Amino acid sequence: RAWMRGVIRQHLIRVACVCALIALVFAAPCALTGCFGMTQPPQVAAYVNGVAIEEDDVTEFIEDFRGKNAQYETDSAWAEFLKSNGYTLETLRSYVLDTVFIPQELIRQKCAELGIQIGDTDLDDVIRQEKEYYERRYGENSWDSVLASYGYDEESWRENELNRLLEEQLRSMVIDAVAPTEAEVQAQANESASTYNGKDTYYITFASQQDAQEARSRLAASGERVTLGEFERIGDAVHAGWNSLPANRDVMGGEYIQAANALEVGTVSEPVYADGAWTLIFCDAAFNVGAGGESVVLATMPREIYDQIVIDATEAKADQLFDEWLRGLAAESDIQIEPMPSGLPYNVSATYVE
């Protein structure tokens, strides 16, 4: 169940619209168009203050999750997934409605009530910046491939970002600034500090691979381990920071991160071609804690990683408060969930779910 919750939660953080629509022909033509050639109205999964959530959207969401995991393609494997995670077909559908579609619709309605809007120009700017970021990392004209890898196209990504920005503005309006307590920071560190295991590095760029190799050879002549001062004497050293922190990773290439991870403290990499230049990387410090559950000593944590833990704890607390506010809004709203219809693609044979 926790694994499924993680997938659903990822969609919630992004306030995800239904994306990567899967073209599935799962009903007879008569059911789609009507026996007399008349188009039938869409089935409704739920109503939120009178606004309908279509059954097709819920189906596409669940089928998208299933389609991204090849191990769930067969009915028997899908049924086993449901059973092992404590779901029935009906409770899975209800869970998706309660955690994705109903909150999403409530957010839209509340934003309309409060006059919160995201202009086309602002949305264009956000998407342009995202496109530039990914094309710097993965190459020119890679944007469509990046979207496809996450199950989006241009249209669904645009709607996804619109929903995300609406939620951010609504949250900032209804939730006051929060500050985590020391106990909350400690709990966050115990839970997630291991995700920031990594190396603190400096680097120097060179005009050619030969220049970089010659500089490294001079360093190697003084011994296997070097100091930061010795490294700085061979060129203009730049502090890259911890390669495990999100802000730093955003500006490091994959080659740089991989090379840094392979270093021990006080050692220098072989020449690495990173971000268009030949580079030597020096490891200044390492951070390594267990996989969670133990008490992390905050006082011994590198400052940059501690600051990130505080940011994470602050975000977690704000998320919790907003979720509580949203549940209160739902309790005050007129929400009606319709019975689950038969014949849905993810509705596997009863033989498998018994």
Chain-centroid distance, C-alpha 305: 20
The enclosing H or E element of 241 equals: strand 238-242
* Confidence tier at 11 by pLDDT (50, 70, 90): very low
d(CA 157, CA 154): 5
What is the percent of the chain where pLDDT is above 90? 61
Are 241 and 304 in contact by the 8 Å Cβ rule? The answer is yes
Q: What pLDDT is stored for residue 126 in this prediction?
A: 94
The burial class, CB within 10 Å (0-12 / 13-18 / 19+), for 13 is: exposed
Residue 353 confidence (pLDDT) above 90: no
pLDDT digits (tens, 9 = 90+) for 170-202: 999 999 989 999 999 999 999 989 999 999 999
pLDDT digits (tens, 9 = 90+) for 137-175: 777 888 999 898 887 889 989 999 999 999 999 999 999
Q: Which of 199, 188, 322 is nearest to 257 (CA)?
A: 199
pLDDT digits (tens, 9 = 90+) for 303-341: 999 999 999 999 999 999 999 999 999 999 999 999 999
Helix count (H) and strand count (E) of the chain? Answer: 16, 7
- State the average pLDDT over residues 99-121: 95
Q: Which of 283, 276, 284 is nearest to 259 (CA)?
A: 283
More confident residue, 234 or 28: 234
At 151 the three-state DSSP class reads: coil
The burial class, CB within 10 Å (0-12 / 13-18 / 19+), for 78 is: buried
pTM, full prediction = 0.75
